[in-house]
């Protein structure tokens, strides 16, 4: 009797991970009604996070180009090439991408970033409000990804 050959699992290379992020982007851009917006994905350069511990604040961020519908979502390659098997679901690359896409929604709703400018914590506004806003987006992004995957909490 011949034994069934074992399946070979492809390792998560940087290129394969970026290809997967683009597949997630294609799905979520349509689902979140961002079809008319140009969105690019890039890795956060190593020096952009120099000396920072990876956490929700710097796993990803979105850059908006004023007066255009061009956004660049930058995502940290966490050093551990992982996908949905992440120990912390909020660190999952799809969750990070959806989180940043929700920020894009905020910018596109009012056309000139008024909403987001009040919610980004800095010296001129309430940092606690910004933290609550980010926590809400984290929860929403995680819930959307879990629902798509059929995972309950």
Compute CA distances 106 → 8, 25, 130, whole Å.
42, 17, 14
Helix (H) or strand (E) holding 40: strand 38-43
Q: How confident is the model at residue 9 (pLDDT cuts 50, 70, 90)?
A: low
CA angle 22, 8, 23 (to 5 degrees): 10
**pLDDT digit string (tens) for 13-33?**
888 889 999 999 999 999 999
- The answer to whether the beta carbons of residues 98 and 28 sit under 8 Å apart is yes
Q: Domain 14-149 adopts which CATH fold?
A: Collagenase (Catalytic Domain) (3.40.390)
- The domain segmentation of the chain, as residue ranges, is 14-149
Q: What is the dihedral of CA 110, 114, 118, 119, to 10 degrees?
A: 40
Instruction: Look at 55-59, 110-114, 149-153 and tell me which has the smallest mean pLDDT.
Output: 110-114
Average pLDDT over residues 28-56: 76
The pTM (predicted TM-score) of the whole model is: 0.75
Q: Output phi, psi for 38, to 5 deg.
A: -90, 120
Decide: residue 75, CB within 10 A, 0-12 exposed, 13-18 middle, 19+ buried.
buried
Distance CA 99, CA 121 (A): 17
Quick check: 96 pLDDT over 50?
yes
CA 147 centroid distance within chain: 16
Quick check: 10 pLDDT over 80?
no
């Amino acid at each position: 009797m011949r034994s069934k050959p074992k399946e070979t699992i492809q390792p998560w290379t940087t290129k394969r991970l970026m290809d997967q992020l683009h597949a997630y982007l294609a799905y979520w851009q349509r689902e979140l009604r961002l079809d008319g917006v140009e969105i690019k994905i890039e890795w956060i350069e190593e020096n952009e996070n120099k000396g920072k511990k990876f956490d929700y604040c710097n796993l990803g961020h979105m850059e908006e180009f004023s007066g255009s519908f061009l956004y660049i979502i930058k995502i940290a390659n966490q050093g551990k090439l992982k996908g949905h098997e992440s120990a912390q679901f909020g660190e999952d690359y799809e969750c990070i991408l959806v989180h940043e896409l929700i920020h894009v929604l905020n910018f596109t709703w009012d056309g000139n970033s008024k909403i987001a400018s009040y919610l980004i914590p800095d010296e001129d506004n309430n940092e606690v409000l910004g933290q609550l806003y980010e926590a809400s987006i984290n929860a929403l992004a995680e819930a959307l990804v879990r629902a798509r995957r059929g995972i309950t909490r």
